[in-house]
Amino acid sequence: MTALVRILPLMPGSGRRAGRLVERNLWVYRRGWLVIFSGFFEPLFYLIGIGFGLGALVGDVNGLSYAQFVAPALLATAAMNGAIYDSTFNMFFKLKYAKTYDAVLSTPLGVGDVALGEVTWALIRGTLYALGFIVVILMLGLASSAWSLLAIPAAMLIGFAAAAIGTSATTFMRKWQDFDLIFVITLPLFLFSATFFPITAYPEPLRTLVEFTPLYRGVHLIRGLTTDSIEWTMLLDVAYLLILGLAGMAIVSRRLRFLLLK
């Protein structure tokens, strides 16, 4: 909580300065936008191959077609993946090899600006993935609720949590091989967060464990919005992801201060 209190006063005042770091990243990718959008296709292929292909064999799930059931989960996954890619591999290269942040700190930008700027940039990438994916969902008629438009800010919340946790985890990485641990975490999250089958398929206590994972909270939130299954527990999803993101921001700010100013 002490670290969280330290970073919160930095965020409003450092927004404009952190925006400079986001602008820098935009210039870096100005000729490489295809790289940014490449991760959008993975969940799209899952939707086509599993949602429609396997869905023809599965039939309905909880009163929904299998494609309708899977699509919100893949939207949440797209938001998570987009934020994770930039907040881990790309940030690690800039931190350990390119020494980008050492150069940044020679300007008026501070450590808090770096933390906020990188989380914001990773969030932007996750949001782009989510926007592209929700357009596909709407075009295919897989969103049956007027609440579906709120899936965009919900996906941004997932991206914020993933970006903050991803950047904080990266500050503890020492070599490229350490990133194998990222896949050890993200792959089970993708497979077991009620992505391809209902949470009721799990026995206790495994079901309770899954319900405490961040991607499941995001899947539950977006699935409720896109299928018109509004529940009060969705407020818990929002609170969970927001607290997780703020905690990650606090950690990355403190870790960067230790790594860059020691």
The predicted pLDDT at position 8 comes to 41
CA distance linking residue 48 with residue 253, whole number of Å: 40
CA distance linking residue 229 with residue 220, whole number of Å: 10
CA atoms within 13 A on the CB side of 178: 12
Q: Determine which helix (DSSP H) or strand (DSSP E) holds 7, and give its type and residue range.
A: helix 2-7
- Residues constituting the chain: 262
Cβ count near 24 (within 10 Å) = 14
CA distance linking residue 123 with residue 93, whole number of Å: 18
How many domains is the chain built from? Answer: 1
The predicted pLDDT at position 49 comes to 84
Tokens of 217: 């909270």
- Residue-wise pLDDT tens for the chain (262 aa)? 334 334 444 444 456 788 888 888 888 877 766 666 666 677 778 888 888 877 777 878 888 888 889 999 999 998 998 899 889 988 999 998 989 898 888 888 888 889 999 999 999 988 988 888 888 888 888 887 788 889 999 999 999 999 999 999 999 998 888 888 888 899 999 999 999 989 988 888 889 999 999 999 999 999 999 988 888 989 999 999 999 999 999 999 999 999 888 7
CA distance linking residue 128 with residue 122, whole number of Å: 10
Residue type, 46: Y
Which residue do the tokens 């940030």 mark?
Answer: 91
Report the Cα 253 to chain-centroid distance in Å: 18
The predicted pLDDT at position 53 comes to 79
Q: List 231's β-bridge partners, or say none.
A: none
Structural domain of 57: 2-260
CA distance linking residue 206 with residue 1, whole number of Å: 30
Residue in 193, 159, 169, 184 with CA at minimum distance from that of residue 81: 159
Residue in 109, 116, 154, 156 with CA at minimum distance from that of residue 249: 116
The predicted pLDDT at position 33 comes to 67
- Dump the DSSP string for 191-233: HHSSSSS-GGGSPTTHHHHHHTSHHHHHHHHHHHHHTT---TH
Q: How far apart are the first and last CA of the chain?
A: 22
